Amino acid sequence: MKVTALAPQHQFVHGLASFSKIHPRSNLCRPNATAFHVRMSLREDAPSLAVVGVTGAVGQEFLSVLSDRSFPYSSIKMLASKRSAGKRLTFEDKEYIIEELSADSFSGVDIALFSAGGSISKKFGPIAVNCGSIVVDNSSAFRMDEDVPLVIPEVNPEAMSHIKLGCGKGALIANPNCSTIICLMATTPLHQRAKVLRMVVSTYQAASGAGAAAMEELEQQTREVLEGKQPTCEIFKQQYAFNLFSHNAPVLSNGYNEEEMKLVKETRKIWNNMNVKVTATCIRVPVMRAHAESVNLQFEEPLDEDTARKILKNAPGVVVIDDRASNRFPTPLAVSNKDEVAVGRIRQDVSLDGNYGLDLFVCGDQIRKGAALNAIQIAEMLL
Amino acid sequence: MKVTALAPQHQFVHGLASFSKIHPRSNLCRPNATAFHVRMSLREDAPSLAVVGVTGAVGQEFLSVLSDRSFPYSSIKMLASKRSAGKRLTFEDKEYIIEELSADSFSGVDIALFSAGGSISKKFGPIAVNCGSIVVDNSSAFRMDEDVPLVIPEVNPEAMSHIKLGCGKGALIANPNCSTIICLMATTPLHQRAKVLRMVVSTYQAASGAGAAAMEELEQQTREVLEGKQPTCEIFKQQYAFNLFSHNAPVLSNGYNEEEMKLVKETRKIWNNMNVKVTATCIRVPVMRAHAESVNLQFEEPLDEDTARKILKNAPGVVVIDDRASNRFPTPLAVSNKDEVAVGRIRQDVSLDGNYGLDLFVCGDQIRKGAALNAIQIAEMLL
C-alpha cells in the first residue's frame, strides 16, 4: 500500500476498519473494503493463534491485518470477556464463536496477540507463556520489564532475535505505545544518521487510543452539540466534540502524565540509549483513529533537511508527504487505515544554529501501525 | 470576568460571541449573554470610533468587547465592504447603518479599529492616519514595520507610550498575531524572571483564525460527515471535520509557514530581544474559536515550577488551571468567550538538567484576547 494511492482526501475514511462487523450501530465506523477477503492463510503447517480482546478496536484490527497480510495460521481462538463469550464472528469466510478468556485458553496456542488492557495481560500473559505461547502484548504491562523486548520491527528487530517459534518455549514481547511507535518510525532513521540528543514532542491524539467506546462517544457528542444538546460525557470527563484536552492518562508526581512518560522511557529502551533526552506534551484532539505529532529534534551531528528527506523517503514503513507549494502535508485522515507513517514539514530548525536541528510533523494510524499492525509484524518475525 | 466563574464545562459555549446577530443561519454561533447590554459608554466627551470590517468575526467581537468593557465613545462608524453597506446593525440599543469603507470614512475619527485583512489595512490604514486617526490594526500589514509599535498591553505597553490621543496626529499601532499574543501572555512573566533563551511551540489552532466562514465550514462539514456525505471544502482545500492539518498560511522558502514565522519574528520584536530563539509548528484543529499551544521553554536562569506557577498566578490576564489530581487543565472550550489566557501543565522539563526548562500548555480565545480584546485594550491605553 502506497500513500500515493490514498483515497481522495475528501472521502470519509476515518472509521474503524472492521469494527462495524460486531457493532453496527456506529455510523462513522465503516468496514475496510479490503478486510476479510478469503485468503490462503488457513493451513495446517502454520502456527495456531489466539486473539485476546477480539471484540475491541485493536482486536478487530488484529483480524483485519492478519487477513490483509495473509498471515498463515492453522487455527485461531477468538478470546474475550464473559460478556462477549458465545457471540459469533465471521473471519475469512469461517464462523467462530467467541470464547471466554480463561487459564485454559492457551493450550496448543503458538502465538497469542493480547489487547485487552494491562490487568488482563498481567494475569493471563504469564499463563500463556507457561503454556508455551509467544505473547505479543499490546498493553503497557511488561514494556519496561528488563527481560521483555519492546519492539518496532523496522527499528529494533534484534531485540527479539533470541525468541524462536516452535521450540515449545513461551515468551513475552511487548508492543510499544502508539505515540512512541509513530514517533520513532519517523525519527529513528534520522537518529541512526546524526544521533538525536534531545526531542520535544507535542501530540495530537485520536479518540481510538481510548478504545472503540471513546470513538463512539466523540461521534455521539458531536451529534449532540450540533443539535444544541448537552454532550454525553462517559468515557471522558469533559466535552470532546469541537474541543481538545490534555491526555486523560493519570498525571505523575513530576507533572507528566503516563502517556508522556511512555514516550520518554520507551524511546530510551527501544533505542537502547539511556542518554537521549525526551520531553512530551500529549493532547487528545477530536479526530477518530490517527495520531499526529509535532517533533523537534536536536542532533549530535549536523543533518541538513534535504539529506533528512532522502533518508526518510528510503525508510521502511515511512512515506514523505512534504509538498510546500501546494501546502500538502500529512494529516490523520490521509493515514487512516493505512500502514505507513507519514512525515512532512521537514525543515531546518531556525532556533538552532547550524544544521543541528530539524522540525517534523508525523501522522500514523493509531489502531494500525500504532497497535495491531506493529504487533503482527512482530509475529511475522517469528515465522 | 474570572475563569473560576466559567460556564460548566459541558455547556456548549464555543460559538461566536455575537456573530449570530447578523448571520443567524449558524446554529453553533450563540450570542454572548453579556453582549450588547445598554451601557453608559456613549457620551459626548469620548473619542469617536470607527470599526473597519464590522461584519467579520473579529469586527463583531470588537463591538462585543467595547460593550463589555464600557469603552467610552461619542460616535461609532460601522464600516465594511460594499457588499454589506446599507445593512442595519443594532449596538447598545442604537441602530446603525453599515457604511462602505472609503477614503472619506475617517474624517473626525479618533480611533479606528481595523480587522478587514492585510490589503484593506495597507490601503486605508495610511489614509486614516493622514486624517488624524489612531489606527489599531489587527492585520499583519504593519506589524514588522520598525516605526509601528506591536503591542500586547500586559507585555510591552511602553512601546506605544509616545502615541497620544487628541493631539490631532494620527498613528498606527499593530495588534500581534493571535498565536503570538496567547503564547506571550503566558511566557512573558517567566521570561521577565528567568530570560527565555529558546522556545519550541506547537499550536492547536481553531477555525476562527480563518474567519467566520471557516467556522461555518467546519460546522457544515461536520454535519455532512456525520450524514455520510462528502464534506464541502471551500475555505480549506481538505476535510477539516474530524481531521487536522498544517496551517493553511503559505509556506516560505525556509519550510516554515507564515503563521509560524510570525511567532518567531513578533516574539523578538515584542520582547525587544533579537536573540531569543523560537521555533513553531502551527496546526489547525477542528475547534471553533480558541487556540491551544504546547510550549517548551529553555531559560538562562534556573526557574522551578512552583515559582513559575506563582508568577503565572499573579500575571495580569492569565489564569492558572493546573489540577493534576483531577486531570483538569486548560481547554479551548473553557476559555471560549473568556478574556483570560489559561495556563496549565506547568512542569519541569525532564529533558533538561537542572531547573532550566519548563513545559506549559496554554489556551486563549482567538477572537477575543487573540484579536478584538487585545486591540481594545490598546485603545484603552490611549484614553
User: If you write DSSP's letter for every residue of B314-349 in order, what string do you get?
Assistant: TSTTEEE--BTTTTB---HHHHTT-SSEEEEEEEE-
pLDDT at A168 over 50: yes
Residues of A in contact with B348 (CB under 8 A): 254-255
Q: Which of B218, B279, B344 sits opposite A296 (nearest CB)?
A: B279
Nearest-neighbour CA in chain A from B151: distance (Å): 23
Percent of chain B, pLDDT > 70?
90
Written as one letter, the residue type at A302 is: P
Average pLDDT for chain B: 91
- Determine the pLDDT at residue B41: 80
Q: In chain B, where does DSSP find H-type helix?
A: 57-68, 118-130, 178-194, 212-226, 258-271, 305-313, 332-335, 373-382
A161 interface with B at CB cutoff 8 Å: no
- Determine the pLDDT at residue A42: 83
Helix (H, G, I), strand (E, B) or coil at A128: helix
* Each residue's pLDDT tens digit, A78-108: 999 999 999 999 999 999 999 999 999 999 9
- Side-chain-side CA neighbours of A229 within 13 Å: the count stands at 9
Q: Which of A12, A248, A281 sits opposite B327 (nearest CB)?
A: A248
- Are B150 and B159 within 8 A, CB to CB? yes
- What is the spatial distance between Cα A292 and Cα B71, in angstroms, rounded to a whole number? 43
A265 interface with B at CB cutoff 8 Å: no
A226 and B226 in contact by Cβ < 8 A?
yes
Q: Which of A11, A244, A329 sits opposite B331 (nearest CB)?
A: A244
Q: Mean pLDDT across the stretch A311-336? A: 98
pLDDT at A351 over 70: yes
Task: Identify the burial level of B195 via C-beta atoms within 10 angstroms of its C-beta, where 0-12 means exposed, 13-18 middle and 19 or more buried.
Answer: middle
* Each residue's pLDDT tens digit, A189-230: 999 999 999 999 999 999 999 999 999 999 999 999 999 999
pTM for the whole thing?
0.91
**Grid cell in block for residue B339:** 478574556
- What is the spatial distance between Cα B229 and Cα B123, in angstroms, rounded to a whole number? 42
- What is the spatial distance between Cα B57 and Cα B368, in angstroms, rounded to a whole number? 10
Task: Round to the nearest angstrom and report the end-to-end CA distance of chain B.
Answer: 22
Task: Identify the burial level of A315 via C-beta atoms within 10 angstroms of its C-beta, where 0-12 means exposed, 13-18 middle and 19 or more buried.
Answer: buried
- What is the spatial distance between Cα A35 and Cα A67, in angstroms, rounded to a whole number? 6
- What is the spatial distance between Cα B349 and Cα A171, in angstroms, rounded to a whole number? 36
- What is the spatial distance between Cα B134 and Cα B168, in angstroms, rounded to a whole number? 9
- Determine the pLDDT at residue B40: 58
Average pLDDT for chain A: 91
Q: Could you write out the DSSP letters of every residue in B20-80?
A: GGT-TT-TT-PPPTTTT---S-B-TTSPEEEEETTTSHHHHHHHHHHHHTT--BSEEEEEE
Active site residue B178: yes
Opening angle at CA B340, ends B338 and B341, nearest 5: 115
- Determine the pLDDT at residue A16: 36
Written as one letter, the residue type at A182 is: I
- What is the spatial distance between Cα A237 and Cα A250, in angstroms, rounded to a whole number? 13
Residue A355 makes CB contacts below 8 A (sequence gap 6+) with A299, A302, A303, A304, A348
- Determine the pLDDT at residue A34: 41
- Determine the pLDDT at residue A40: 58
- What is the spatial distance between Cα B271 and Cα A16, in angstroms, rounded to a whole number? 47
Residues B219-246 as b or e (16 or more Cβ within 10 Å = b): bbbbbbbbeeeebeeebbebbbbbbbbb
Least trusted range by pLDDT, from A246-260, A297-311, B26-40 = B26-40
pLDDT at B274 over 60: yes
- Determine the pLDDT at residue A44: 85
B357 and A279 in contact by Cβ < 8 A?
yes
A202 and B294 in contact by Cβ < 8 A?
yes
Which run of H or E residues covers position A63? helix A57-68
* Each residue's pLDDT tens digit, B180-205: 999 999 999 999 999 999 999 999 99
B351 and A288 in contact by Cβ < 8 A?
no
Nearest-neighbour CA in chain A from B31: distance (Å): 13
B240 interface with A at CB cutoff 8 Å: no
Dihedral, CA atoms, A143, A149, A151, A157, nearest 10 degrees? 170
- Can you say whether the dihedral through the CA atoms of B197, B276, A247, B306 is positive or negative? positive
More confident: B6 or A199 = A199
| Helix A57-68 and helix A373-382, axial crossing angle in degrees, nearest 10 | 50
Q: Mean pLDDT across the stretch B115-120? A: 96
Measured CA to CA in angstroms, residue B276 lies from B266, B268, B279 at distances of: 11, 6, 10
**Grid cell in block for residue B212:** 467566520
- Determine the pLDDT at residue A8: 32
A23 interface with B at CB cutoff 8 Å: no
A26 interface with B at CB cutoff 8 Å: no
Measuring CA to CA, which residue among B73, B67, B70, B63 is closest to residue B34?
Answer: B67
Percent of chain B, pLDDT > 90?
87
- What is the spatial distance between Cα A362 and Cα A344, in angstroms, rounded to a whole number? 6
- What is the spatial distance between Cα A312 and Cα A194, in angstroms, rounded to a whole number? 13
Structural domains in chain A, sorted by start: 3-176+370-382 (3.40.50.720), 179-367 (3.30.360.10)
pLDDT at B158 over 50: yes
- Are B91 and B154 within 8 A, CB to CB? no
Measuring CA to CA, which residue among A102, A40, A41 is closest to residue A77?
Answer: A102
- Determine the pLDDT at residue B44: 86
pLDDT at A20 over 70: no
More confident: B25 or A204 = A204
Q: Mean pLDDT across the stretch B258-265? A: 98
Measuring CA to CA, which residue among A143, A132, A211 is closest to residue A165?
Answer: A132
* Each residue's pLDDT tens digit, A29-86: 333 434 444 455 888 899 999 999 999 999 999 999 999 999 999 999 999 999 999 9
Task: Round to the nearest angstrom and report the end-to-end CA distance of chain A.
Answer: 22
- What is the spatial distance between Cα B86 and Cα A283, in angstroms, rounded to a whole number? 46
Measuring CA to CA, which residue among B330, B116, B290 is closest to residue B207?
Answer: B290
Compute φ and ψ for B342, nearest 5 degrees.
-100, 140
